[in-house]
Amino acid sequence: MALDISFLLNKRYKPEPITKRQARAIKLVSHEDYSIYTQRLASACEEGKEILIRLGISAPLQSGDVCLSFHTAEGDLALAEMGTFLHAITAAVPMKFVLKHYQNDATVGIRDGDIFFCNEAIYGGLHNPDQIVFMPIFYEGDLIAWVSSAGHEPETGATEPGGQPADARDRYAEGLKVPPIRIGENFKLRRDMIELFENMVRYPEMIAIDTSVKLSSCLRLRTRLLEIAAERGKEFVVGLCRKVIEDSSVAAKKRVKSLPDGKYRCVTFLDTYGPAEALIRVPCTLVKTGETMLADFSGASPELPGPYNAFEHIVYAHLTCMLFQYYFSDLPGSSGTLVPFDVSCPKYSFLNANSQAAVSSGTAMAPIAGNTFMLCLNKAMYAANDAEISTNIAAPPGASARAFFFGGINQYGKEVAGVSLRPGNTSGIGARPDKDGVECGSFWWVGRGNAVDVEHEEVLYPYLSEYCNFAPDNCGHGKFRGGASMAYGIRMHNTPAFYVQTFGLASRFPANPGLFGGYSANVRPGIRITGANWKKLDDANVPTPRNDLELLAVAKKLAIDVQILPIQIPGAMFKGGDFVGVVASGAAGYGDVLERDPDLVASDVVRGICTPWTAEHVYCVSLRADGSVDKEATNDCRAAERKRRLAEAVPYHDFVREFAKLHPPSEALRLYGTWPIPKDRTPAS
């Protein structure tokens, strides 16, 4: 970096001090005005979101992995609407960089109609597939606001298709990495800048069209904001944007203050970093003091080889996704809402890597930190012993990302590259104290995201869906179970060879713990079957398996060779007829499985969410041949299970003493750090 960015990253996404102009302008906004005009801003963001979803090419845009936002003239986030807040909050740092370094630079400057772009993590972005288009808004010659439009683009010209190359050893293998830069003037994109982008990626039409669509959505936001300025004046707009920030800050600090002061701890683990396996530790201590809370990740495992690292501001951004979607879900998506919150990650850990590290998959690792933080926050909310606060308690959504990255020649002879987010966008959402989670509810980052239709993918790319159904027993069980996820398998066709790499976390060790006795969501490996072996299944004339468990059962019966692999299957060229399958991330449960309503268990079996084996051995529910509950047998079975639990129980200190004697194999700890608690790695002198 030739220009200083550290001062912005250190402040992260907090608002600048209120200016005299803003303080005067706030007085122009009445309570009634605030209600009406903030809704108009939110509606404008929804318009922009629909433009991205309906006109964008990439599957993430069409799935709603987008965000539109309004910012103050100083670059502070005033209001955003999901898609995902992850994109919205990161626009602030590139805007402030432009204001600090370019506004008064004679060679750059900031003018009405300028269009800027950024996708570089060390300049405040997240990873280079997340690309932001942003614009200054002028009225009567004054800069009064900014708008931004952001979304995930799955092709960046990296060493592998998909934008998140598993073999990247430093930042220079990750493809397109653009600092805040002007790409258009007079409300039009520059042809030479788009040519530059097109030349650097495998799917030039995608980046060209999607960048244009992002501009279109920014222009829609600009139009709506200028309508308000024309009605009420530019100072009203200045006051409105700042009032959202100020009011959000007051409300957020009040809510944080309602939690008991203290330290709340949780530790989660990962077993996968790309196509290899190793145990990785993600500890979090939530320190709540007065109106502030700090998420401290001291003890996180050291920096990892490959792109499975993050910077501290990336972790911060992910944790705010959980805040906006749960604890602060009724507050505006504003920088003011984040005033009481901060993050600390040890330097040279995988959550705060050095500036030259590869980080394109850091956005897949950071959700685990987000879930760990949320479990700490749940403990703080529970400790408040307040019914109103407890309504926000929920097991986190499934965080073990799943996707297919691919590239090559499609069935029409055209070169394409991209990602299928269907396995990721159908993750489960966690259980609550009074209800089950949501089946196939969402993408971790996208609370209102969707999954594009299977038929849409099949039209564009050379594969067909063999199955796309609930994955049995992938939810976290409990009195209220977590949301079930999806089993998804595809088979190549009409292509001589097509590059595919599956992406995911957690092949052996659950990464989504449950709450108050609820089970973790389980984990599943990846499956690969060559075309020759799949042909045996076709020739056997058996019903097409509906999920991974049925596929494995049929394959065993027919002696079909199945490759069981870590969830992130290394990239390879797949031929026509080859099959690959993964299971999306389920979510954890809440409460004791023996307290679950037996009729709900029976219903889950009918729907394919639970297997009969799980009903009998986990929930201790006896089902008759017709699927109905035998209540007397169920009561007897549960009584016997409670008796067994008591017989095998040991005092907690005895359990800890024996458990502490256990030690994972040394190979599993090669990336873990010092056992049992990793230490920060000291940089080489």
**pLDDT of 204 strictly over 90:** yes
**pLDDT tier at 448, thresholds 50, 70, 90:** confident
**pLDDT tier at 677, thresholds 50, 70, 90:** confident
**pLDDT tier at 573, thresholds 50, 70, 90:** very high
Instruction: Write down all domains in the chain, each with its CATH number in brackets.
Output: 39-170+185-232 (3.30.450), 252-392+650-680 (no CATH), 394-591 (no CATH)
Residue 242's pLDDT is: 98
DSSP string over 300-349? PPBPPSSS----HHHHHHHHHHHIIIIITTTS-BSGGGGTTEEEE--TTB
**pLDDT of 74 strictly over 80:** yes
Pairing between β-strand 341-344 and β-strand 292-296 as defined by DSSP bridges = parallel
Q: In this structure, what DSSP letter does residue 587 have?
A: -
**pLDDT tier at 685, thresholds 50, 70, 90:** very low
**pLDDT tier at 683, thresholds 50, 70, 90:** very low
**pLDDT tier at 544, thresholds 50, 70, 90:** confident
Q: Which structure tokens are listed for 90?
A: 């990161």
Paired with 468 in beta bridges are 488
pLDDT in tens, 508-538: 888 889 999 999 998 888 999 999 999 998 8
pLDDT in tens, 26-42: 999 999 999 999 999 99
For residues 580 and 528, give the distance between their C-alpha atoms in angstroms, rounded to a whole number. Answer: 4
Q: How far is CA 230 from CA 137, 148, 235, in A?
A: 13, 21, 11
Choice among 87-91, 306-310, 347-351 with the minimum mean pLDDT: 87-91
pLDDT in tens, 7-27: 667 667 889 999 999 999 999
Residue 681's pLDDT is: 46
pLDDT in tens, 262-302: 999 999 998 887 778 889 999 999 999 999 999 999 999 99
**pLDDT of 5 strictly over 70:** no
Residue 684's pLDDT is: 40
For residues 593 and 473, give the distance between their C-alpha atoms in angstroms, rounded to a whole number. Answer: 13
Q: Are the CB atoms for 147 and 207 separated by under 8 Å?
A: no
Can the peptide bond before residue 141 be classed as cis, meaning omega within 30 degrees of 0? no
Residues 437-449, mean pLDDT to the nearest whole number: 84
Helix/strand/coil (H, E, C) string of 47-81?
A: HHHHHHHHHCCCHHHHHCCEEEEEEECCCCEEEEE
More confident residue, 677 or 269: 269
**Percentage of residues of the chain with pLDDT beyond 70:** 97
Residue 682's pLDDT is: 42
DSSP string over 620-670? ---B-TTS-B-HHHHHHHHHHHHHHHHHH---HHHHHHHHTT----GGGGT
For residues 88 and 93, give the distance between their C-alpha atoms in angstroms, rounded to a whole number. Answer: 11
Residue 388's pLDDT is: 85
**pLDDT tier at 410, thresholds 50, 70, 90:** very high
pLDDT in tens, 144-156: 999 999 999 989 9
For residues 175 and 156, give the distance between their C-alpha atoms in angstroms, rounded to a whole number. Answer: 5
Q: Which structure tokens are listed for 230?
A: 């024309």
Mean pLDDT of the chain: 92
Residues 127-137, mean pLDDT to the nearest whole number: 95
Residue 575's pLDDT is: 92
Residues 488-507, mean pLDDT to the nearest whole number: 90
